[in-house]
Amino acid sequence: GAVVSQHPSRVICKSGTSVKIECRSLDFQATTMFWYRQFPKKSLMLMATSNEGSKATYEQGVEKDKFLINHASLTLSTLTVTSAHPEDSSFYICSALRTGQPQHFGDGTRLSIL
């Protein structure tokens, strides 16, 4: 069964609103989680690495004030897209790192900004 839960699976909202996406590790503690963005028919692009109890590490070109990441517990990381605009529409996927195992991925969130 799924070991990483991502919620919501789909969200549609108006331009200018903020959207929060949750990523939970279901039966293990994940000190490190990752957030990816995937454009249509494209590969995954790493946005940031989320570390429990510390600031996220953002990849070059990713606006940290636009994409707020909080990893407040060992089983939950959140990505908030602030003041979202149509160009932020995308498929966002999280993953969690489990000791000794490859990254486990969530099912993704389809974000559509009108």
Partner 1 sequence: AQSVTQLDSHVSVSEGTPVLLRCNYSSSYSPSLFWYVQHPNKGLQLLLKYTSAATLVKGINGFEAEFKKSETSFHLTKPSAHMSDAAEYFCVVSEVQTGANNLFFGTGTRLTVIP
Q: Are 51 and 97 in contact (CB under 8 A)?
A: no
For partner 1, the closer of residues 5 and 82 by Cβ is 5
Half-sphere exposure of 41 (CA within 13 A, CB side): 0
- Check binding of 106 to partner 1 (CB under 8 A): yes
Residue carrying the six token digits 């900004």? 113
Q: What is the C-alpha separation between 103 and 44, in angstroms, rounded? A: 14
Straight-line distance from the first to the last Cα atom of the chain, in angstroms, rounded to the nearest whole number: 34
Window of 11-19, 63-71, 74-82, 103-111 that interacts with partner 1 by CB under 8 A: 103-111
What amino acid is encoded at 18 in this protein?
A: S
For partner 1, the closer of residues 71 and 106 by Cβ is 106
| CA-based radius of gyration for the chain | 13
Window of 11-19, 63-71, 77-85, 104-112 that interacts with partner 1 by CB under 8 A: 104-112
- Encoded one letter per residue, x for contact with partner 1 by CB under 8 A and - for no contact, window 20-59 reads ------------x-x------xxxxxx--x----------
Q: What does the binding site for partner 1 look like in residue numbers (CB under 8 A)? A: 4, 6, 9, 32, 34, 41-46, 49, 91, 93, 95, 97, 102-103, 105-108, 110
